[in-house]
Amino acid sequence: MARKSETRTELPGFDEAASGPRLGPTGRALREFADPKPLKSHGPARIIALCNQKGGVGKTTTSINLGAAIAECGRRVLAIDFDPQGALSAGLGVQTHDVTTIYDLLLSRTKSPSDAIQHTSVPNLDVIPANIDLSAAEVHLVNEVAREQILAGVLRKVVNDYDVILIDCQPSLGILTVNALTAAHGVLIPLECEFFALRGVALLVETIEKVKDRLNPVIELDGILATMYDSRTLHSREVLERVVDAFGDRVLETVISRTVKFPDASVAAMPITQFAPEHQASKAYRQLARELIARGAVA
């Protein structure tokens, strides 16, 4: 990797000594996003898929904590666990066995999402859980009519009850993920600040473009979220710099730092905003919620 400027302050026009604006990790001036106004009415929801075919990049962590942070803003949020690993369900402490799951809703046209929706300990944040059964869905959906549109059909039944629906995708670009992209208005791509982060993103963007052409003309890229950032390492800063070079303004200003508080919160089965409300990581997800509201990606 080409070694670029060691610190951001070397960028032209942003000399700290010249008392220029203080820069955030993405190289743009740090700013606070305003507290969002309360909503006068609720729904229909904007549907956002959290997508990256690479595992361990922060899709589930972001679905949980962004969901909780948006819910704190008085928005009604439904999080869909769309990964057979069920990590979103576990992280929010909801039942995954002997309950109706997203898999049941995909396979049965008579089941209602209200049979599957579970409340969480966070007011305004509900979940439709998943478990390992969902791994059989790809096989079952292959022979279905309009197999890419089945999740969209399920979500149509609840879209008026929520302001935001977040879909936590599994790490693949198979039929389930294509279903999520077909149902969604927007895509959020979490990207870890690690060396191979950009590998595969071109394929993901190409998949989104194909879905836009063939199945879902409204879909748009809401943003790329840098996760697991470690400001102390040059490596992390360089990766982020490359991501910004490649994607420009599509990289969200909010950056999520690496901290063990996230795994700790998962073990406690609660969002970080409840587990450690004053921690920097909670503030980062609240900032992300405000940024997405300011950008119009969330009501």
How far apart are CB 40 and ligand ADP at their closest, in Å? Answer: 33
Helix (H) or strand (E) holding 204: helix 201-214
Nearer to Mg ion, 87 or 239 (CB): 87
Q: Coil, helix or strand for 226? A: strand
Among left, alpha and beta (phi > 0; psi -120 to 50; other), residue 182 is: alpha
Of 3, 36, 53, nearest in space to 198 by CA: 53
The DSSP bridge pattern shows strands 125-128 and 118-119 to be antiparallel
* Piece in contact with ligand ADP (CB under 6 A), picked from 27-35, 139-147, 204-212, 253-261: 253-261
Nearer of residues 26 and 96 to Mg ion, judged by Cβ: 96
Point out which residues pair with 77 in neighbouring strands.
125, 164
Pick the stretch among 15-23, 24-32, 50-58, 215-223 that binds ligand ADP (CB under 6 A).
50-58
86 binding ligand ADP? (CB under 6 A): no
CA 192 to chain centre: 13
Q: Which stretch binds ligand ADP (CB under 6 A): 100-108, 159-167, 215-223, 256-264?
A: 256-264
Nearest to 221 by CA among 231, 211, 229: 211
Please, what is the minimum distance in Å from the beta carbon of residue 108 to ligand ADP?
27
61 binds, among Mg ion, ligand ADP, none (CB under 5 to 8 A by kind): ligand ADP
207-225 burial string, b = 16+ CB within 10 Å, else e? bbeebbeebbeebebbbbb
Site for ligand ADP in 263-292 (CB under 6 A): 263, 266
299 binds ligand ADP, rule: CB under 6 A: no
Closest distance to ligand ADP from the beta carbon of 289 (Å): 16
Question: Of 76, 258, 286, 290, which lies in the binding site for ligand ADP, with binding defined by CB under 6 A?
Answer: 258
Structure tokens at 85: 């690993």
State the DSSP H helix or E strand holding residue 210, giving kind and residue range, or none if neither. Answer: helix 201-214
Contact 174, 140 (CB under 8 A): no
The reply to whether 59 sits near ligand ADP by the rule CB under 6 A is yes
Residue of the chain from 45, 46, 53, 60 that contacts ligand ADP (CB under 6 A): 60
Please identify which residue in 55, 123, 248, 296 interacts with ligand ADP, judged by CB under 6 A: 55
Q: Which of 73, 167, 193, 228 binds ligand ADP (CB under 6 A)?
A: 228
Q: Kindly state whether residue 123 participates in binding ligand ADP, applying the rule CB under 6 A.
A: no
Q: How far is the CB of 28 from Mg ion (least distance, A)?
A: 28
In the complex, which residues of this chain contact Mg ion (CB under 5 A)?
A: 59-60, 87
Give, for 245, the enclosing helix (H) or strand (E): helix 234-247
Angle at 167 between CA 164 and CA 169, to 5 degrees: 165
Binding positions for ligand ADP, rule: CB under 6 A: 55-61, 87, 171, 227-228, 256, 258-259, 262-263, 266
